[in-house]
Structures are given as C-alpha cells and as structure tokens.
Chain A
Amino acid sequence: MAPWRTPSLVRLKALARRPWLAHGVLTAMAVFTLFPMFWMLTTAFTPNDLVLQRAFRFLPEDPTIANFVDAFTRQPVFAWLINSIVIAAAVTLGKLALAVPAGFAFAQLRFAGREVLFWTVIATMTFPTVIGIVPLYVGISMIGWYDTLAGVIVPSIAYIGFYVFFMRQTFRGLAPEIFEAARLDGAGPLRQFWQIAVPNILPAVASISVISFMGAWNIYLWALLVLDSPEKRMLSVGIKAFSSVDDFTPLWGPMMAVAVVSTLPVLLLFLCAQKVIMAAFTGRTDG
C-alpha cells in the first residue's frame, strides 16, 4: 500500500466511527419517511378552504375536525371502516386456518410427496398478485360474488406461500423428542398438533396474524374491481371517491381525513405489536 494512502485510511476509519454521520443520515431518512405522513395529518385538521391557499402551514392555525365530519357525511366512511375490519379479520382467520396445520404437517409429519407439495405451495410466493386477475374476475362474477365481501375475502386467503413457509420454520424449531414422547403415549397427529405443537408457537401465530391483518387492510386493486356499491367499499378503495368531486378538484382536506382514519388502526396495531412483527421479519435470519 502506498504510504500516502495510510492517513486517508485512518481518517476514513475515524469518520466511520463518528456517530454524527450515522445520526445525520438516519435523521434525514426519517424526515423523508415521516414528512408525507405529517403533512397528511396536518392537512386533515386544517379547514379545507385554507388548505387551498398556497402557503406554508406546518401546524394548522385553526385546528378543526370539520374535514372528518365532511368526509363521513359525504360518503359512507363508517361502513368502509367496518368493511375493512371485516375483510382484514376474515382473511387473517382464513390464512391461519390454512397455514398453521399445513406448516405443522410439512415440519413434523412424514408422508409421501411432502417435498413436492411443500414446494407447490411455496412456489406461489413468486406469483404476481394480479397475474390471474382476469379468470378470477370472470369466476367471481359467474358464481354471483361480484360486489360482495366474500368475493374479496376468499381469493385473498390463497396467498399463503410466505405464511406456510414461516409456520414450517417455526414448527421445525420444536424438539422432535416431544412429539416422539407423545406418540409413545398414543397421541395421534391431531392431538400432537392441537395439544403440543400449537400451544408452543402462539407468539409466531400472533406475528403472522398481525402481518396478515395489515396486509389485508391494504388490499387495493382486487377490492377496486370486485366491490361496486359505495357502501360496500373498503377504506383503501373508498378514498378515491374524494379525488375528483366538483370540477375535478380533489377535496384534499376530507381526503386526508379519510387517510388518517385508514392509517390509525394499522398504526395502533403496529405500535402495540412492534416487537412481535420485528421478531417475525427478522427471526428467520437470526435463528
């Protein structure tokens, strides 16, 4: 190494150790991620006629909930909220009902075709979500599920590749000896699953429930296609109703109010379950 390079290397080393570099970059990124949400929040509480005056207004001068009242009276926002909750809860229950037993069988039971069937399920992780949208739409229309919540819920349950993979990893982490012992005691597969395996992996079930709920809360394109009546929409789709009202002028104030209503439940869920979510996303790489 050329002698002139040593000082700069030392300086680089010192620079990398300096905490202000990390703090500076990370703070800048936090401003980048938080600002659009902050702007959404402050607009939601600013009177709508002030919103349309070109001006900086970092905090609403005259905070009001008028935008929320306006949004809820113009459109069935409360029904959208209920629909979002029903869809997210039903999709989550459906995914748990499919992925937990399948994950257990792929991890702890022996049967012919196990690997092939496992990869058949896992390969669907690479399917683009909109790939089968035309046949699905035709099928849903033919069986009369167009404009019903079931039409949104049932096909959405099928995206279980990640969940089955995650549950298999989790059940694999249990010691095979406990199942061996249970088998000697005469416990069948159902008892091994329900009385031994499941009680031991409840934290993992909690993680994927939260992840699935947040994912289903955000379903957009499929709900946009299937749900037609104004009162049957979910929040993620309904918000578009505010984008061009009179003369194509978006009602920014009420729109941001609906955005806040749509974000609050998942934000609260995220804050309560932060540890559980982080563990799920990162567990498979640490463990």
Chain B
Amino acid sequence: MVIDTEGLSFNFGKQAVVKSLSLKVPEGSIYGFLGPNGAGKTTTIKLLMNLLKTDEGNIHIFGQELKSNRVKILSQIGSLIEQPAIYLHLSGKENLLNRALLLEIPAKRVDDMLDLVHLTSAANKKAGQYSLGMKQRLGIALALLPDPKLLILDEPTNGLDPNGIIEVRELMLRLVKQQQKTVFISSHLLAEVERMASHVGIINNGELLFQGSINELQALNQPQVQIEAENTVDAANLLKRNDFTVTEIDDEHIFVPFTSKQKMGEINSLLNKNGYTVYSINKQQKDLEKLFLAITQSA
C-alpha cells in the first residue's frame, strides 16, 4: 500500500471531523476519495501531509511512519490542497521557479511543466491576473514539478472547463499507466472520478462508508426493473399486493428490484391482466451518481 492509515481520527475542538479512518491506497492506483462538501476530505488530506496533528491512529506512506519520516516521505509527494497556493505578485513561471529553487530542480523542468498544463503563453503574466482555471492548472504544475511518486490532489478540477477536466483526467491516466505513479484525488462528484479511478473511498461526516475497487462499487449497484405504465400509483399498489417490492414511483415509472427475467415477465402480464397498459419494461442499472448519493445519504 502506498497510503495506509489505521484508526485515523481528528477533532476540531469538540467536533470530530475524521473518525477512525482506515485508508488503503494501492500502488499504481488512481484512488478517488469521494464525499460531499464538509465530509472531511481536505482534513484527511492535511493529515496525510502532516499539516494537522493526528489525534488518534497512525499513517504509513510508502510503508514508513509519517511523523518520524516526514521529510523523506514528503520528498516523494506532490500535492494540491484546496485552492492552489500561488504568489499572486509573481508570474506563473516565477512561482514554478521559486518551487524549483526550493527543491533543487533544474529550470528546464519548469518550462516542461508550463507546456504540460498549457500555460507557456501566459508564463510571464502575473498569477494575480490568471483565471481560476489557469490558477488551478498552475497548482497542478506545482504538484507535478518534483516528479513525485504519489500525487495528492484535492478537488483539482475546481474551476476548470469541460476541456480542462478531460485534460486532467487524461493526464492522470497517463501518469499512472506510463510512469507507474499513484494518484489520490478527492472530489465531491462521483461522475468526475468514475471515469479514471481504479479505486474509490467514500467518506461522509468523517466516516469511511465504502472502500474498494471501482468494480466492487459497481457490484453494490443492484439492477432494477423500470416499468413505464399508466396510473403508476395504482399499478404500484397492485404489485405490492402481489408481493413485489416497489422501490420508487414517479408519474410515469415504477421501479422494482431486478431478480430474474421470468419475474419481469410476471410483472408485465400481471399489470396487463389487471387493465394497466405497460408502455415499456426494461432492466436498468442505477448510475453510480445515484449510488453515491444513496451511500452518503443513508449514513
């Protein structure tokens, strides 16, 4: 495991913000750390970066205990926490040169990074004049500058346009595939990370509600039968009287958990026999976004 925490807890005063978190981030993975706003994602990231003092539990990164190997571990991590930390009176290039000076990185890599995040033409413009998306890209360049083994990115697509989001996604996939990096990326939008994450952790109110591969998350996702019929309320009551579970009803649809094709046929004939016209009936997979909401809201 690249990141391995056990019983990690943190309180702001009396309020428990992170509760007994056990994160397992495998090497070479893109780990999507998901949760609604205020769930404890940024606090967890700050604990991983040793910016906040752990109240309970321990953190191992690259198999080493964080507190006693802080400098050694941090030398292999590139991070972007909350909004990018940028000196607004310096140009984008100067921000990168300053970081390169601190980390003893050749200036040539600064130009490569500017190129990578498409900021070459704005390199000498003051960062204070950058748009939110440009600042975010500069933040990503700062995180990538030391060529770290582990990238920790806190909501990196904030402020990016759809093209920018796709670019970040492709960049992350490339880094993992071609350079065997590990990426830990937080977001409040499942749709944003489901296309790139190999592993997912879902946090809400400081508690880890789910952790596993994206396939394991999919497996949680039970298929359902969507029935389009007239008079859905009465039709749903009929199904209930006949021992079918109805999970959701709206003006046009009834949703029933999928068990088998035969049961789908039974539903269809039952409704038709009782005078309810069925316009369509099909097996449907709940999208992950709904699953994410279901997990975070049921907690």
- Mutual binders A and B: no
